Amino acid sequence: MTDFDVRPVTDDERRSTFDLLGRSLHAQPVSDQAWSRFGSSWPAAHKFGAFDGGTPIGIASSFDTRIAVPGGGTVTLGAVDGVGVRADRTRRGVLTAMMAAQLEDFAARGIPLAALHASEPTIYGRFGYGSAALGKTLRVARPAARLDERVAAGGDVRMLTPEEAVEAVPALYERIGLHRAGMIGRPAAWWPNMHDRHAGPHGRHITAVHSGPDGDDGFVVYDTVERRSFDAPDEGAVLDVRDLHAADPVARAALWRFLLSVDLVSGVRARHRPVDEPLALLLTDHRHARTCEVEDDLWLRPVDVAAALRARTYRAADPVVLAVRDRMLPANTGHYEVGPGGARRTDAAAHLALDVDTLGMLYLGQWSATALAQAGRIEVHDPAAPDRADELFTTVTAPWCGTHF
């Protein structure tokens, strides 16, 4: 027996559902002033609430955007930017019911992929999401870390006022483009809450922009946190990189050169960077840039398996036939042939069998079919097939989202 209804959120319920999500994540209710600044980032569209009578007890929110897939194409993405259930109503199927409504809505609207960032990795596999892109945390020692003289240099870095940052950075992100598989477009509604709140006139983050021969081509948003204390009088501040995007290697190196030049800083920390971010290679001594953590970044859910498989490209190898199982969206269950020429449904016998969350793990190229098979996530019917699938799905550049949502 269910004692709640799941339905779309109305305009009047935006703030109460935002506060419900915040509470589930242990945040304070939003103030009137803050809501007037970034409430527009929480439109009613694409939100499913669970209600007991008129009272919200659960929320599953998403927004539509684009995601880059291997090969350079982009497809529509349902970006799940917040799910939460009131603490006294958890573990009674509320999230399951909201996720089902959300996935059916994505499918009905022809959205091929959905994605999220997971608070806890044990939750989302059952809904068909797999960990599809990783991110690393870098710690760089200051003032020891220096860029090697062979690293290409050029252009200028300038700091923006908060007003300039709010104006300039969205257009710059758009111009830099979705050049890595896993990167997503940032719709206008994303910016007030995720960027302007921290880097705009009321925030404390600092924004710097790099300009090359063709104009602005990279930006970094950062904050500094004082570490000096009575017990550690020689510590400077830690510079925390929150958002860094560059159109090319010259702009990226110049932004890192700038970050490493900021005075009174004893270390630079950057979380959720691409796992193949080449910072260590840029330094005279690569040990001054340490990877101290690798975490899951983006979780991906093929919503329309055929469309998702068709959207990306594959490298040269003999085709493989995948048997995909999808409990929540059974129309996806079936056999798919994937080869250098593309992907299509087939009646042919399967070489490999996997659940749809594992397909999410394979899709962007983060994990190899061989590793997934060895981990028991792919059943192997043809012993040569994992090698072929590795060839087909591998990407040269690691996938990375780089956008918090």
Ligand X SMILES: CC(=O)SCCNC(=O)CCNC(=O)[C@H](O)C(C)(C)COP(=O)(O)OP(=O)(O)OC[C@H]1O[C@@H](n2cnc3c(N)ncnc32)[C@H](O)[C@@H]1OP(=O)(O)O
Annotated binding site: 83-85, 91-96, 119-120
State which amino acid sits at residue 216: D
Compare residues 94 and 265 and give the one whose CB is closer to ligand X.
94
3-state class (DSSP) for residue 159: strand
Residue 106 a catalytic site member:
no
Contact call for residue 209 and ligand X (CB under 6 A): no
Is 57:47 a contact under the CB 8 Å cutoff?
Answer: no
Please pick, from the candidates 95, 208, 246, 250, the single residue that binds ligand X as defined by CB under 6 A: 95
Please pick, from the candidates 16, 40, 64, 92, the single residue that binds ligand X as defined by CB under 6 A: 92
* Catalytically annotated residue among 124, 127, 258, 363: 124
Contact call for residue 119 and ligand X (CB under 6 A): yes
Please pick, from the candidates 80, 133, 147, 160, the single residue that binds ligand X as defined by CB under 6 A: 80
Contact call for residue 23 and ligand X (CB under 6 A): no
Contact call for residue 90 and ligand X (CB under 6 A): yes
> Parallel, antiparallel, or unpaired: how do β-strands 289-302 and 130-141 relate?
antiparallel
Contact call for residue 2 and ligand X (CB under 6 A): no
Is 218:246 a contact under the CB 8 Å cutoff?
Answer: yes
Compare residues 92 and 344 and give the one whose CB is closer to ligand X.
92
Minimum distance from CB of 247 to ligand X (Å)? 29
Distance CA 61, CA 65 (A): 13
* Catalytically annotated residue among 4, 38, 106, 405: 405
Please pick, from the candidates 107, 118, 206, 322, the single residue that binds ligand X as defined by CB under 6 A: 118
Instruction: Output the known binding site for acetyl-CoA.
Output: 83-85, 91-96, 119-120
Cis (ω within 30 of 0) for the bond into 143?
yes
Compare residues 8 and 215 and give the one whose CB is closer to ligand X.
8
Phi and psi for 199 in degrees, rounded to 5? Answer: -110, -5
Residue 124 a catalytic site member:
yes
In this structure, which long-range contacts are made by residues 388-392, counting pairs with CB atoms below 8 Å and at least 24 apart in sequence? Answer: 388/317, 388/318, 388/319, 388/320, 388/351, 389/317, 389/320, 389/322, 389/338, 389/351, 389/352, 389/362, 391/315, 391/316, 391/317, 392/314, 392/315, 392/317, 392/319, 392/320, 392/338, 392/339, 392/340
Contact call for residue 91 and ligand X (CB under 6 A): yes
Written as six digits, the tokens of 185 are 């477009």
Q: Look at the chain and count its residues.
A: 405
| List of residues contacting ligand X (CB under 6 A) | 24-25, 80, 82-85, 90-96, 116-120, 122-123, 126
The residues that are catalytic are 124, 405
